[in-house]
Amino acid sequence: MSEKIEKRIKRHKRVRAKISGSAKTPRLSVFRSSNHMYVQLVDDTKSKTLLSANDIKIKAKGKIESAKELGKAIAKLAIEKKIEKVVFDRGGFQYHGRVKAVAEGAREGGLKF
């Protein structure tokens, strides 16, 4: 494993030590690969993924636009399941660019965190 990935995992463990999701307020977990974004709502008390979405089928101009649309999509799915409040987990990534766009899209979609 490269040093860059090891550092991200170390940061993610530090973040996860402080936050966890429940059935009422699940954890909105974000993963950013070089090409795509993946998000999921996780109930950590039961270790279950409640919802998941990715930007593979989203048609948008650029990566940041598709990330914002992904945030809106997961928010729509969550509100359909009567989930309004979540805990944001940036996955050890910096909170800027695509990760920030997902958060902004989710907020615009109606999620509170």
CA dist 92 and 57 (Å) reads: 25
Confidence of residue 101 (pLDDT cuts 50, 70, 90): very high
Confidence of residue 59 (pLDDT cuts 50, 70, 90): confident
Please check the confidence at residue 73 and state whether its pLDDT lies above 90.
Answer: yes
Whether 27 and 86 have beta carbons less than 8 Å apart is answered as: yes
Please check the confidence at residue 46 and state whether its pLDDT lies above 90.
Answer: yes
What does the domain layout of the chain look like in residue ranges? 3-109
Please check the confidence at residue 60 and state whether its pLDDT lies above 90.
Answer: no
Residue 59 sits at φ, ψ, to 5 deg, of -100, 105
Closest CA to 72 of 97, 101, 96, 93: 101
Q: For the residues 29-49, what does the mean pLDDT come to?
A: 94
Q: Which fold has domain 3-109?
A: Nucleotidyltransferase; domain 5 (3.30.420)
Tell how far CA 31 is from the center of its chain: 7
**What average pLDDT is seen over the chain?**
94
Give the global pTM: 0.90
Helix (H) or strand (E) holding 108: helix 98-109
